[in-house]
Structure 1
Amino acid sequence: MAAVATAIACPALFISASASGQGKTTLTAGLARLHRRMGRRVRVFKTGPDFLDPMILERASGAPVMSLDLWMVGEADCRALLAQAAAQSDLILIEGVMGLFDGTPSSADLAAKFGVPVAAIVSANSMAQTFGAIAFGLARYRADVPFHGVLANRVGSPRHAQMLQEGLPADIRWLGHVASDAAFALPDRHLGLHQASEIDDLDARIERAADALAQTELAQLPPAVEFHSNDADDVDDVDTLASVPRLLDGMRIAVARDAAFSFIYPANLALLEALGARVSFFSPLADESAPASADAIYLPGGYPELHAATLARNMRSADSLRAHTVSGRPLIAECGGMLYLLDALTGVDGTRTPMLGLLPGEATMQKRFAALGMQRLDGTHGMLTGHTFHYSRVSTPLAPALRARHAQTGADGEPLYRHGAIVATYMHAYWPSNPAFTAALFHGTAL
């Protein structure tokens, strides 16, 4: 019997902004916590490729934060993820990326595709009536984007808030304002916000943001949006991975996970399990050995440059990784995971630290990013989507086994290296985009 599209309604709001740095993550986290305090089941999504913001949003909402992106994730899987959340939640929040119309595809494209109303955040410090002009532009730039209203952030005083509100066109909803408050600002560094585990008072900051938002219209549930699923049998069990073949059945995969290696899509781990793998975790930073029983190891990206000296001292973990590769079992390394495998890593201060020496070459950190953007790998199993964002450069005598291409231009992107059983690249892959490609990575077969 053919599947019948089923509509599942749930209140939903898209939190976007006029630009990066307006406070989207802080206020989305505060809003999630506010509604969670009211007893509501809240699911939060993050637009585009991001690892850091979802850590904060997961802490605020109490549920894993999945990525939504019309290119990297794909429209069909975005639709299924939203339908699944709608069936299980009382409120869906989607945090945008950069400004509302930035990027291809943009936050506006995603909001328009699924009909999710947009609440725009504008940082109003050093601004008065121009706030209204910015809100007008955000609301009118594209007629197909449902616009819910605008919230002023970092407001200096009640009089300042009044001026901002009075400057709005009458038909643009004023959602309220949030005062400047260092007590809930989130610290950041070169790749973005600090990781949730590194912010000692994170919950207090989120609670304070929730308190501030309790005085705005965002404390009320937004309009319900209908999300459509193609699974008519049981809308409570919409599952984007239900039909994935068990290509990794019984395989034991060990994943490095700690403050140095933390850039992991929850969807990637879910795919490994759907493919039949048994996933476990270890911490190189805590000098834990990779399980000797592991059939394959995954070293994700993160911040090895911040912990280089500790990693260099941790022999137990290093020896276990060397034993794993000597045995010919697959090891997949992305970005920071790849840097850990190299001969050495040099920081921005010029300090050169020996690394594992399992992959020939060295990396050097720099103060400006070296690459940024969506990329794709094309192999014998088709296309694998992902992205790249890094501040280091690698020098290696290895020739690329494959080379990624930029999503929009087709220009050359990141190389993928194969060295014995090691596969390493700067590209952070979104594995659900191609389960067969992913299985080939972990089996160590042709790509």
Structure 2
Amino acid sequence: METSLTRHCPALLMTAPASHQGKTTLTAGLARFHRDQGRRVRVFKIGPDFLDPYILERASGAPVESLDLWMTGEADCRARLYRAAAEADLILIEGSMGLFDGTPSSADLAEHFGLPLVAVIDAAGMAQTFGAVALGLVALRPQLRFHGVLANHVAGSRHADMLQQGLPDFIPYSGYIARQDDIGLPERHLGLVQAQEIDDLEARLDRAARQMADTALATLPPAVAFAPAELPAVPALLAGQRIAIARDAAFSFLYPANLQCLRDLGAELTFFSPLADQALPPCDAVYLPGGYPELHLARLADNRVSAESLRVHARAGKPLYAECGGMLYLFERLVDQHGRSAPLLGLLPGHAEMGKRLAALGLQQIELDGQILRGHTFHYSTLHTPLEVEIRATRAVGGAAGEAFYRQDNLQASYLHAWFPSNPLAVSRLFLGTRT
């Protein structure tokens, strides 16, 4: 129901029948195209993701936030979309995996907010069957609003004609993107290579934008009505606290919303780089986020200043919270995918080994001191430690046991990547330690 406070803004949700269809590349190309036309573009990513948002941020020129009906919550999604509608000429949302994959799925979010969909379909190796794939996406849930389908990795105009011939007349055809190796984005075991590591990223984004200019998506889609949402005020529970956060190529898995949550709690944030062997700045608490420590083992093992300052901080009993790759840094040793081993901080007993297959994936939540904190897990490593498990997270679907949470004095660590806005009170306790 619309009110005088409802905001209207053109919006599209870019989805696909599966992962690896080209969603991120083409969402980024579309964002860059509209930005080049002088439009203000806000991009969101559905589901937990640290890598795609950095690419999308470079393409759009604006921070990219996460949406997930379970992890971030309906009210949080609504509030972020409502704020974006006040400042943007176009809202783009990149879906997660395939359209109907996951609980909740991209389809669930699209239906909940009335978002029009564009399905990116990798058409390599198919012709008229393209229409059958498109029809399946459109027909499974007729209440979804399809704005069009976009063929990707097309061999040429003749191939494009065959694709369009197989498409039912009632499904809008948005055009095609020609097969072009120099617009795709490189990947590694956790997903896309980080934006700062792709030397020619700007050129790739510009080439993708030029291809998107020749599709029907060069025209703004219809406006969507976004209703207001009231979120409770965050109490300044961390007022006067200074939190030092590791941030570099090894520790880069940081949600912008997590940083904003800490600021809303009243904390002052400062950043340092273990890779650059920077000393820990004066602080009351430390946050070691996830990332790729396994790709930088030699440098992390060789650093002295940063490592010793972290040890001094922990031995002084000050709070230190670590997630996934940040947690691995705390243990005695890490073995990478090639069997190379290196010593790390040694603040916790045990070691971790990188594997070639996913060890854990999915949405989870954990109850800390009676407070529920939501997040997700995604890692290839296996941990071997004599530490007792303080508590275990539970999976979002089914409630089975999930990741372990370890606590040793004021040092707390888990594979879980927490979404701080899901419970600011729980987050404040992570960084206040026993002072609570």
Quickly name the TM-score band, shorter chain normalised.
Answer: over 0.9
Shift of 1:230: 3.8
Match of 2:167 in 1: 168
1:104 aligns with 2:94: no
Q: Secondary structure at the match of 2:26?
A: helix
Between the aligned partners of 2:197 and 2:409, the Cα distance in structure 1 is: 35
Structure 1 CA distance for aligned equivalents of residues 64 and 374 of structure 2: 19
Cα distance per residue 1:229-265 (max 9 Å; x no partner):
046xxxxxxxx5x711001011100110000000011
Q: Cα offset for 1:350?
A: 1.5
- Secondary structure at the counterpart of residue 183 of structure 1: helix
Instruction: Spell out the pairing of 1:251-262 with structure 2 (5 A cutoff).
Output: 251-262=241-252
C-alpha deviation, 1:420, in angstroms: 2.0
Q: Is the 8 A contact 1:343 1:356 kept in 2?
A: yes
Q: 1:6–1:230: 8 Å Cα contact kept in structure 2?
A: no
Question: What TM-score do the two structures reach when normalised by structure 1?
Answer: 0.96
Structure 1 contact 157–179 (Cα < 8 Å) conserved: yes
Are 1:268 and 2:258 counterparts? yes
Provide the rounded CA distance (Å) in 2 between the counterparts of 1:287 and 1:167: 58
Partners of 2:370 and 2:420 in 1: CA distance:
12
Question: Which amino acid in 1 is paired with 2:318?
Answer: R
Deviation at 1:5, TM superposition (A): 7.7
Moved more, 132-141 or 345-354: 345-354
Structure 2 residue 237 is the aligned partner of structure 1 residue 247 = yes
Matched, 1:393 2:392: no
Match of 2:339 among 322, 344, 350: 350
Indicate if the aligned counterparts of 1:380 and 1:446 stay in contact, CA closer than 8 A.
Answer: no
| 1: CA distance, partners of 2:57 / 2:267 | 24
Aligned partner of 1:29 in structure 2 is 28
- Partners of 1:288 and 1:219 in 2: how far apart? 46
Runs of 4+ more than 4 Å apart? none
1:369 maps onto 2:369 in alignment: no
Find the aligned partners of 1:416 and 1:107 in 2 and give their Cα distance: 29
- Partner Cα separation in structure 1 for residue 405 and residue 417 of structure 2: 11
Measure how far apart 1:326 and its partner are: 1.1
In the aligned structure 1, how far is the partner of 2:280 from the partner of 2:245?
A: 8
**17 and 342 in structure 1: CA distance in 2 versus 1, 3 angstrom threshold:** same
Give me the whole-angstrom Cα distance separating, in 1, the residues matched to 2:68 and 2:106: 9
- Residue 199 of structure 1 aligns to which amino acid in structure 2? I
Which structure 1 segments of 5+ residues have no match? 232-239
Secondary structure, counterpart of 2:80 in structure 1: helix
Contact 2:319–2:410 (8 Å) recurs in 1: yes
Residue 424 of structure 1 is matched in structure 2 by 413
Residue in 1 that maps onto 2:273: 283
Cα distance in 1 for residues equivalent to 2:361 and 2:209: 32
- Counterpart Cα distance in 1 of 2:42 and 2:235: 27
Q: What is the CA RMSD across the aligned residues, in angstroms?
A: 1.2
Which residue is 2:424 aligned to?
435
Q: What does residue range 319-358 of structure 1 map to in structure 2 within 5 Å?
A: 319-358=308-347
Contact 1:121 1:153 in 2 (8 A): yes
- Residues in 2 aligned to 1:297 and 1:5: alpha-carbon distance in whole angstroms: 44
- Whether the 8 Å contact between 1:13 and 1:116 is mirrored in structure 2 is yes
Deviation of 1:6 after TM superposition, in Å, equals 2.3
Instruction: Tell me, in whole angstroms, the C-alpha distance in 2 between the residues paired with 1:70 and 1:144.
Output: 18
More displaced stretch, 41-50 vs 143-152: 143-152
Q: Secondary structure at the match of 1:149?
A: strand
CA contact (8 A) 1:5 1:229 kept: no
The equivalent of 1:382 in structure 2 is 371
Structure 2 residue runs of 5 or longer lacking an equivalent are: none
Aligned match of 1:408 in 386, 390, 397?
397
Report the AA paired with residue 185 of structure 2.
L
Cα 1:345–1:95 change in 2 (3 A) is same
What are the Cα deviations for residues 121-179 of structure 1, in whole angstroms up to 9, with x where unaligned?
Answer: 00000000000000001111102211111000000010000110111000000000000
Specify whether residues 22 and 87 from structure 1 end up closer, same or farther in structure 2 by C-alpha distance, changes over 3 A only: same
Q: Shift of the alpha carbon at 1:380? A: 2.6
